[in-house]
Amino acid sequence: MSRRPVPRVFGSLRGYRIGWLRADLVAGLTVWAVLVPESLAYATIAGVPPVVGLYAAVPALVLYAVLGSSRHLVVASMSATAALSAGIVGDLADGGSDRYVALTAALAIVTGLIGIAAGLARMGFLAAFISEPVLKGFIVGLALTIVVGQLPKLFGVPKGEGDFFRQLAAVIGDLGDTHLPTLLVGAASLLLVLLLRRWLPLVPGSLVVVLLGIGAVALLDLDADGVAIVGSIDAGLPQLGLPDVPGSDYLTLAGAAVGVLLVGYAEGLGAAKTYAARAGYDIDPDRELLGLGAANLGSGLASGMVVNGSLSKTAVNGSAGARSQLSGLTVAALTVPTLLFLTGLFEQLPEATLAAVVIAAVVELVDVPALRRLYRVWTPHLGGIYGWAARADFLAAVAALLGVLVFDTLPGLFIGIAVSLVLLLYRASRPYVARLARGTGDGAWLDVDRHPGLVPDPAVLVLRVESGLFFANADHVRDAVRARLTAQTRAVVLDAQTAPFIDVTATGMLTQLAHDLARRQVTLAIAHPVGQIRDVLRTAAGAAGVALGSYADVDAAVAAGLHPGGTAPGGPTAP
């Protein structure tokens, strides 16, 4: 049966009930109160004027509601993709320049076009290439980088250049020049937003802190005391159309845009699936790509920045009772008058308060307990099999984290992906080959390493390969068999029950192994061959003129191996 076409307009509004209207409107108002200050803050992470974050919000929210599959996901500017944008654009233009702002919008456009193309091509599987541990390490590294980048605004000292460690060293070196009024404003803002989040989670703490910061500047003339403020914010709607950059810049941004899309897609898809599972509906990965692509394209054409699904704002949306994307459309509708009439209000916002909002938003992403849990996924048995690679997930997460801290955001992501794939290949190339013996109870064949009381029959070597058999591990399996042969061995049985597939290289290894064993008067038999293995063994080994005996279970294979001229109980499997 063919799949339903990817485009499905306003999917979350189908079957809408009028009883949902109040909940969606309340949720939209609640998310708006969080989105406005956070959008201003995330724009500063990207290195563009704060209002750019609001420019991005309106088209992103509307276009995702048109094409996305989630009823709850809120798509807007976010810390991870904002930091990626800053790292990418910063290599091509000076911060604060018109070219920098234009390239930021161009990056959103390229990301959007790639996302739409990937969605139409049904490439939703792309997110699988970023494992959860890699994404965790990457986000922790990003969060730390963002925090250290905001500390100078919090202390009122100059910002250092370079990687995380150089920026941190610069902050520590300048602590003696801390501007006390700025630090008091920033520290009070940070403390208040954290306390509100802890004790009054339904109150939009970011908005409260922003309004209090603005009020403090107006009442106490803090800017006259040297407290830096945001300054002029252009009122009105954004300019629509392509940014003023040459066409070659779009091609230059294409490679980096793939990384932005992968990160934004993986983060948004996780949030969408979480709330879809709670509400009992399904997420279409291809439509998510299409919705995210359209949101980024619209954002770039509206002078905005890259956007993606927000776990934090989606959580606010869900807890406020949202039932459909009408809540997101409500946020977009409220953001328009904000751009028209309220931007002047935010001009008096202390930069220290804005930094506090950013730090509070990302500090919870520094998930050290999650890294600790990854480290604890280890046992002596796994260590004995894989050695240092037994903690593969932890190592991949740390690689992504350190890659971000040392080499910048996008290189850090690809370092994490590369390390995770290398570790996967390493583990796949060294599968565990268990020695089996018959159990004393029900007669099942059990791993003697896990059941040390069992004594295997010295005449028959029964082994179980806990992996598929393919070119990368064929030699390892052959060597494991040879290493366990003794002068008493008369038969070798490979239990293929845990080997889901085999390729031609591994088949050739088995046929050669059968020849080698036959010269020692030892028989090789295969037990429990699943359909794929049986098919490949029959065709590949048969083409080589070799018949590898395969049997329905280990008992039949053992009997055939010890009595090759007789008829084994159970007999060989069907050809």
Q: Is the pLDDT of residue 114 over 90?
A: yes
The pLDDT, as a whole number, for residue 481 is 93
How far is it between the farthest Cα atoms of the chain?
100
For β-strands 491-495 and 460-465, DSSP reports them as parallel
Task: Give the whole-angstrom CA distance, residue 63 versus residue 9.
Answer: 10
Which H/E stretch holds residue 428?
A: helix 409-429
pTM of the model: 0.78
For β-strands 308-310 and 74-76, DSSP reports them as antiparallel
pLDDT range class, residue 115, cuts 50, 70, 90:
very high
Q: Are 313 and 38 in contact (CB under 8 A)?
A: yes
Q: Is the pLDDT of residue 107 over 90?
A: yes
Identity at 199, one-letter amino acid code:
W
The pLDDT, as a whole number, for residue 540 is 63
Helix axes 79-90, 409-429, angle to 10 degrees: 110
Task: State residue 272 phi and psi, 5-degree precision.
Answer: -65, -45
Q: Which of 110-119, 145-154, 303-312, 357-366 has the lowest mean pLDDT?
A: 357-366
DSSP annotation of 9 reads T
Supply 531's token pair.
């359909």
Supply 334's token pair.
């409220």
* pLDDT average, residue stretch 542-564: 74
Q: Is the pLDDT of residue 568 over 50?
A: no
Model confidence pLDDT, tens digit, residues 475-517: 999 999 999 999 999 999 999 888 888 888 988 898 889 889 9
Task: Give the whole-angstrom CA distance, residue 425 versus residue 417.
Answer: 12
Task: Give the whole-angstrom CA distance, residue 541 versus residue 29.
Answer: 67
Task: Give the whole-angstrom CA distance, residue 88 versus residue 84.
Answer: 6
In percent, how much of the chain has pLDDT > 70? Answer: 95
Place of tokens 């959860």: 132
Higher pLDDT, 572 or 321: 321
CATH of 433-562 among 3.30.390.30, 3.30.750.24, 3.40.50.2000, 3.40.50.300: 3.30.750.24
pLDDT range class, residue 563, cuts 50, 70, 90:
confident
Task: Give the whole-angstrom CA distance, residue 394 versus residue 339.
Answer: 44
* pLDDT average, residue stretch 353-375: 86
Q: Is the pLDDT of residue 575 over 50?
A: no
Task: Give the whole-angstrom CA distance, residue 53 versus residue 74.
Answer: 14
Task: Give the whole-angstrom CA distance, residue 276 versus residue 539.
Answer: 45
Supply 184's token pair.
């008091």
Q: What are the Cα distances from residue 14, in Å, to 66, 141, 187?
A: 11, 40, 47
Q: Is the pLDDT of residue 447 over 80?
A: yes
pLDDT range class, residue 572, cuts 50, 70, 90:
low
* pLDDT average, residue stretch 421-447: 88
Task: Give the whole-angstrom CA distance, residue 487 versus residue 490.
Answer: 8
> What does the domain layout of the chain look like in residue ranges?
18-155+166-178+188-363, 368-429, 433-562
